[in-house]
Structure 1
Amino acid sequence: MLNKRIMHQLIESPGEIVTGPCAQPEVIICAPTRELVIQIFEVAKKYAYSSILKVCMHYGGASSAHFNRQLERGCHILVATMGRLKDILDKGRISLSSVRFVVLDEADRMLDMGFLGDIQTVMQHSSMPDVSQRHTFMFSATFPETIQKLARQFMRDYLFIAVGIVGGASKEVVQTILEVPKTQKKKKLIELLREKDEDGVIVFVGTIRNADFIACYLSDTEIPTTSIHGSRLQCQREQAIHDFKTKRMKVLVATSVASRGLDIPGIRHVINYDMPKDIDEYVHRIGRTGRVGNKGRATSFYDPEQDRDLVPDLTRILSESDQEVPEFLKSGGGGGSWGSGGGAGFGARDIRHDPNAAPVFTAAEPEESWD
C-alpha cells in the first residue's frame, strides 16, 4: 500500500529525471539484506510498469558497474542496502538533494547488523533535505527504545502506529516446542521431515558451518535440500531461493540473517533446529509461515543446556498467541525477562512520554555479513 501511495504521488508530480554520473533519486528505500532489496525492487518495478518512473537497486556482492550504469540513465526510486547506499553517496554516484521520501525497512535488523553509523551518516548528509521537506517512513516488527530514539533523530512529530501485537507471534502459526538435546537434533529433524513428506520447509540453524552440514546431511538421506547464508556468493543464494521456490528443493536450510530477507509464498513449516539468541528473532523466523491468512507450522528444538534464557519470553509468546505451553517450559525458568531482546513487553509503547529514557544504541556483533 505504501509503495502504491508513493508511486501515485511521483506520477502525479514527477521531478525532472537527471542523467549522468550523479543520480538524484526522489525516493530512497533501505533494507538490511540483498534478498529483501531485490524483492522490494521487483514490487516497485511492477507498480512503475508503463509509467515514466525509473526504479534502480544497489547492493553488495554484485557488479557495481552494472548498478552504476543503471543510475546514470536516471533514477526516481532507489532501493539499496544501507552499506552500499553510503558507499555510492561517498563516491558521488548519487545526490540526496531531490529526495522526497525515505523508507527504512526492517530498521531494527539494520541496527542489529551494526549499521547505526551508516544510517546517521546518510540521514544527516549535507545533501539530504530537511526533515520538514521530506516524508520519512520507518518499518520494524519490533519497536524497542533504540528504534524509537532513532525515529526522534530523523522524524518530526511522527505518528507511531502499532498493528496487532508488536513483537508477538501470529495465531495462524501452530507453534510446537520440543525438548531435544543437541545430540538428538539430527535424528529428530529426519523424523519430522519424513513424518509429513512436504515441500516448503525452512530449517533455521545458528552457524554457517551448520547450515552447510545439515543441508548435505539431508541431501544424503534423499531429502532435496539447499542452503542460504552470508558466505555464499550472490548467484548461489539466488539459485538456492529459485530452487526452493520452484520446489526443486523441498527444504531450505538458513542462518538467522536470512530470516528477515525471505519473502517466499507457500512456506508450510518452519523448523528452529537451533533456537535463536533472542525472542525477537524467534518471532521473525516463525513469521515466514502462516501468511496472508494461511495456516502454518513452526517446530522448535529446545535444548535445556543452551536455550534456558529464552524460557520466560518464549512462554509469554506462546501464551499470548493461544498456544500450548509444554510442561518443561512451565517448570523451567533461568535468565532473561520479557522484553530483554526488544520484544512485546515495551515494543508497542510510544516512548516520547518518557524523555528521560537513556538513548543506548547497541549492535549485536553479526555472525556473518549480508550487505
Structure 2
Amino acid sequence: MAENPTAGLTQEDDDEIVDYDSDGNPIPPTTKKIILPLPPIDHSEIEYAPFEKNFYNEHEELGSLTGLQVVELRQKLNLRVSGAAPPKPCTSFAHFNLDEQLMHQIRKSEYTQPTPIQCQGVPIALSGRDMIGIAKTGSGKTAAFIWPMLVHIMDQKELEPGEGPIAVIVCPTRELCQQIHAECKRFGKAYSLRSVAVYGGGSMWEQAKALQDGAEIVVCTPGRLIDHVKKKATSLQRVTYLVFDEADRMFDMGFEYQVRSIASHVRPDRQTLLFSATFRKKIERLARDILVDPIRVVQGDIGEANEDVTQVVEMLPSGSDKWGWLTRRLVEFTSSGSVLIFVTKKANCDELASNLIQEGYSLGLLHGDMDQSERNKVISDFKKKNLPVLVATDVAGANVLLGLG
C-alpha cells in the first residue's frame, strides 16, 4: 500500500469515458472476459436415477365440472390455456391437496385464496407437466412454481454430501434472485429445506461454501451459476425441477446462450417451467427447444400494462423543465406515499440525488455500482417507508417494484 496507494482504485476520470447500461452498471470493455456458456454434455453416458413428477389428484369438486363450466371459469379468471389435456383450474387451496405443513406456512403468509395464475399453474406443475406461464408482475407466479417444487423435492431421497440441488430457479437480476430466495426460505421452512441464492455482486466464496454444504434449492442468475458449475462448487446432476423466471428480461440482457446451456446440462426428462411477461419469437423458440409437450397459460393480455397501476404521462422538453416539475410536486407526492424516481444512468442518479438533498429532501439512492449490502439496506429502508424518496436507475428501480409487488 505504501508503494502504490492507488492499487485497485478506479480512477475518477474514468467516469467520463464509461457508459452505463439500463441497470446503472458500467458497460465492460470488449477486452473483459465474457462468461462462456457451459460446454455440451452427453446425457446418454450418465445413469440418472428415476424420479416421480406427478403428484396431482383432482379434487372431487373439480371432477364434477363440465367442459362449458371449465371454459367459463377460465374466462372469469382471465386465463387462456392451450396444450394437451390441461388440468382444470382450481378455485381454492383445498383443491391443491397440499399437506398441512405447507398449508400452515401459506396461511401464515396471509394468503386467503389463490391468484388466477396459481389457480391454473399449480395443478399443471403438480401434474409434472412442462409449462409456459405468461403473466404480469405481481400476479403471484413465484408461489405458483415454489409450492409444487416443494412437493416435488420432498418425494425424492435426501441429498448426500457433495450432491447438487434438486431444484434450480434461474432469473435475470440479483434483486429478483434475493426476492425468490426469500420466498423459497419462507415456504421451505415447512420441510426444513435449504435454499441458496447465487448471483453476481455476492461473495463467490460464501456462495461456493453454501453450495458445497448442500441445498435442495438454488436460486441464481445465469452467469454466476455457470461460474460455480465450472469451478465444481456444485453439480446439476440431481436437478429434476428447473424454472426460468422472467425469461424475456434474461434475453434482453444477453443471457440467451447461458440460459440454453444451463437447460442442456440438466437431465432431459426433468420438469421445466418457463415464465415471461411477453412471448416474443426468441422466447417461443427457447420454449420449443427446452420444454416437452408444455401447457401454455396466459393470464391477462400478453405485454399489457398492469391495470392496478394508474399511469399519468407528461412529456417535458428539457432537464430544467423536469426539475421544476418535480420540485413543485414532490411535497404533494411524499405526503400521499412513497416516491420512486427512475433515471437512465448512474451519473444522473448521483446528480439528481445530490440536488434533492440540497433542497432538504431525505432519500435513498440505488444503482449498479453500489455493493450488495448497501443495495439491500436501501431497498429495505424504502419498503419500510424509512425513506420517502428513492432515486434509482431503470432496472434496479423496477426490481424494487417487484419486491414491493
Would you say same fold, with TM above 0.5?
yes
Assess if the C-alpha contact under 8 Å between 1:18 and 1:75 holds in 2. Answer: no
Deviation by residue 1:138-196 (Cα, 9 ceiling, x = unmatched):
11111111111111111122222111011111222221111211231111111221223
Structure of greater Rg: 2
Q: Is it true that 1:90 corresponds to 2:230 in the alignment?
A: yes
Assess if the C-alpha contact under 8 Å between 1:15 and 1:26 holds in 2. Answer: no
Matched residue count = 260
Q: Which of 66, 71, 79 is the equivalent residue of 2:219?
A: 79
2:338 corresponds to: 200
Note the C-alpha offset of 1:44.
0.4
Q: Is it true that 1:254 corresponds to 2:392 in the alignment?
A: yes
Q: Is it true that 1:224 corresponds to 2:362 in the alignment?
A: yes
Q: Please give the secondary structure, in 2, of the residue aligned with 1:7.
A: helix
The one-letter amino acid paired with 1:186 is W
The one-letter amino acid paired with 2:158 is E
Q: Which of 148, 151, 154 is the equivalent residue of 1:5?
A: 148
Q: Which of 313, 316, 324 is the equivalent residue of 1:187?
A: 324
Q: Please give the secondary structure, in 1, of the residue aligned with 2:304.
A: coil
1:297 corresponds to: none
The one-letter amino acid paired with 1:177 is V
Q: Distance in 2 between matches of 1:98 and 1:47?
A: 21
Deviation by residue 1:54-108 (Cα, 9 ceiling, x = unmatched):
2111112121111122112211110011110111111122211111111111111
Q: 1:100–1:265: structure 2 CA closer, same or farther, 3 Å change rule?
A: closer
Q: Distance in 2 between matches of 1:95 and 1:202?
A: 40
Note the C-alpha offset of 1:260.
4.4
Q: 1:231–1:265: structure 2 CA closer, same or farther, 3 Å change rule?
A: closer
Show the 5 A alignment for 1:188-337.
188-196=325-333, 197-263=335-401
Q: Please give the secondary structure, in 1, of the residue aligned with 2:357.
A: helix
Deviation by residue 1:239-295 (Cα, 9 ceiling, x = unmatched):
2112212222111111122144224676xxxxxxxxxxxxxxxxxxxxxxxx5xxxx
Q: Distance in 2 between matches of 1:171 and 1:226?
A: 28
The one-letter amino acid paired with 2:310 is V
- The share of aligned pairs that are identical, in percent, is 33
1:331 corresponds to: none
Q: Please give the secondary structure, in 1, of the residue aligned with 2:353.
A: helix
The one-letter amino acid paired with 2:298 is A
Most deviating of 48-57 and 94-103: 48-57
Show the 5 A alignment for 1:39-54.
39-54=179-194
Deviation by residue 1:88-132 (Cα, 9 ceiling, x = unmatched):
11112221111111111111111111111211221122xx201xx
1:29 corresponds to: 169
Gaps of 5+ in 1: 267-290, 292-371
Q: Distance in 2 between matches of 1:87 and 1:107?
A: 20
Show the 5 A alignment for 1:18-167.
18-20=160-162, 23-125=163-265, 128-130=266-268, 133-167=269-303
Q: Please give the secondary structure, in 1, of the residue aligned with 2:310.
A: strand
Most deviating of 79-88 and 59-68: 59-68
Q: 1:259–1:159: structure 2 CA closer, same or farther, 3 Å change rule?
A: farther
Q: Distance in 2 between matches of 1:60 and 1:170?
A: 29
Q: 1:265–1:207: structure 2 CA closer, same or farther, 3 Å change rule?
A: closer
Assess if the C-alpha contact under 8 Å between 1:224 and 1:248 holds in 2. Answer: no
Q: Distance in 1 between matches of 2:332 and 2:192?
A: 52
Q: Distance in 2 between matches of 1:44 and 1:75?
A: 11
Assess if the C-alpha contact under 8 Å between 1:199 and 1:249 holds in 2. Answer: no
TM-score (norm 2): 0.61
Note the C-alpha offset of 1:50.
4.3
Give structure 1 regions of 4+ aligned residues with deviation exceeding 2 angstroms.
Answer: 195-199, 259-266
Note the C-alpha offset of 1:18.
2.6
TM-score (norm 1): 0.67
Q: Please give the secondary structure, in 2, of the residue aligned with 1:161.
A: strand
The one-letter amino acid paired with 2:370 is R
Q: Please give the secondary structure, in 1, of the residue aligned with 2:299.
A: coil
2:308 corresponds to: 172
Q: 1:18–1:216: structure 2 CA closer, same or farther, 3 Å change rule?
A: farther
Q: Distance in 2 between matches of 1:233 and 1:212?
A: 15
